[in-house]
Amino acid sequence: MVDVTIRGAGIFGLSVAWACVRRGARVQIIDPNGPGTGASNGILGALAPHVPENWNDKKAFQFESLLLAQPFWAEVEAISGLPSGYARAGRLQPIADDRQLTLARDRAQSAAALWQDQAAWTVEREDPDNWGPVTPTGWLIRDTLSARLHPRMACRSLAAALDTLGAHIVPDAPDAGRVVHATGITDLSALNAAFNKTVGTPVKGQAAVLDHDARDLPQVFGDALHIIPHADGTTAIGSTTERDFSDPASTDQQLDALIDKARALVPALSNVRIRLRWAGQRPRTRSRAPMLGPHPLHPGQFIANGGFKIGFGMAPKVGEVMADLILNRTDTIPEGFRPEASL
């Protein structure tokens, strides 16, 4: 007996399954490749907020999800017995010039109003831990909302917790109950063909893991580059954003340039060994927001897709609103996240 079938065991599929199971639903997850083997098999794991200004539904949704992340992953780890690599260790950003310094201080005031006592955005002098980043002005932004996890560890932990609660991942099975499609670029390709236009696209990213232990230090973000210290004693950097590519799994000189940029931004990384080079595709909808709600091609079924760059950060809240819709027929999905926003 199955109440909900989830097709796709990436972070969105697993999070929707988790929210449904925690409400008492009987869930099966179908994925021929197993958990976390597509876009969720990345190596970065930056859970970072949008800037605290020009507040809208998307930013509010992400803020709520980032606050949910700590209890979410603590419960997953307690049930699975496996680490997710989650830590709300914060983030540092260099301030390049006086204009950015003024803007950062204005955003500190906005954060105080929007984030209230849940998190802080402050402007500080250079990092006393000598971790970095290099900053031309001598000033940094520090926020306490940003967190990190290890994507592969997190998917393993969540899959094991679901299995413990009776929601098993199987390579194939007939649909039963209410059906949710969380298959990433596969489903976006089907939507493109059905509507004869670009509803969503795969975007390639390249990243690397360096052999440097900074596990207790905050992540760094500068010049569109994330530097993420992980719980396993490595540091991940990434990623590129490539819309035109011939081989989605290859790494090249674009990653070399990214590594050079990371070492210039954080000199502590200058002479450390590269442990892993990674490339993969991530699903990006035309609206750049997640696609959540009734499935445009399958009446009576649902879609959870498009977690481009923000999937792990959005996942706890995505699971909750999808479970509201699937199990209770309560629709709390922001307008900009609905499928029609990308159709």
**Across residues 143-147, what is the average pLDDT?**
98
Structure confidence at residue 131 (pLDDT): 87
Residue 32 lies in a domain: yes
Structure confidence at residue 132 (pLDDT): 79
Model confidence at 271: pLDDT above 70: yes
Residue 105 lies in a domain: no
- Provide, for the chain, the percentages of residues in helix, strand and coil under a 3-state DSSP scheme, each rounded to the nearest 5: 35, 25, 40
The total of structural domains in the chain comes to 1
Residue 229 lies in a domain: no
**Across residues 90-99, what is the average pLDDT?**
96
Percent of the chain topping pLDDT 70:
99
Residue 95 lies in a domain: no
Structure confidence at residue 128 (pLDDT): 64
Model confidence at 318: pLDDT above 80: yes
Structure confidence at residue 312 (pLDDT): 97
Model confidence at 336: pLDDT above 80: yes
Structure confidence at residue 127 (pLDDT): 67
pTM over 0.95: yes
| Cβ-proximal residues to 281 (8 Å cutoff; 6+ apart), any chain | 38, 39, 185, 202, 203, 204, 205, 248
- Exposure string over 66-100, b if 16+ CB within 10 A, otherwise e: bbebeebbeebbebbeebbbbbbbbbbbbbeeeeb
**Across residues 83-104, what is the average pLDDT?**
97
Residue 163 lies in a domain: yes
Residue 123 lies in a domain: no
- Give the pLDDT band of residue 126 (cuts 50, 70, 90): confident
**Residue 53 corresponds to which tokens in the numbers above?**
């200004």
Check which CATH number belongs to the domain holding 32 and give it. Answer: 3.50.50.60
Write out pLDDT tens, residues 59-77.
999 999 999 999 999 999 9
- Give the pLDDT band of residue 6 (cuts 50, 70, 90): very high
Model confidence at 267: pLDDT above 70: yes
Model confidence at 29: pLDDT above 90: yes
Residue 183 lies in a domain: yes
Q: In sequence order, which ranges of 115-198 are alpha helices (DSSP H)? A: 151-164, 185-195
Domain of residue 14: give its range. 4-88+146-197+286-341
Whole-angstrom Cα distance, residue 201 to residue 180?
Answer: 20
Residue 327 lies in a domain: yes
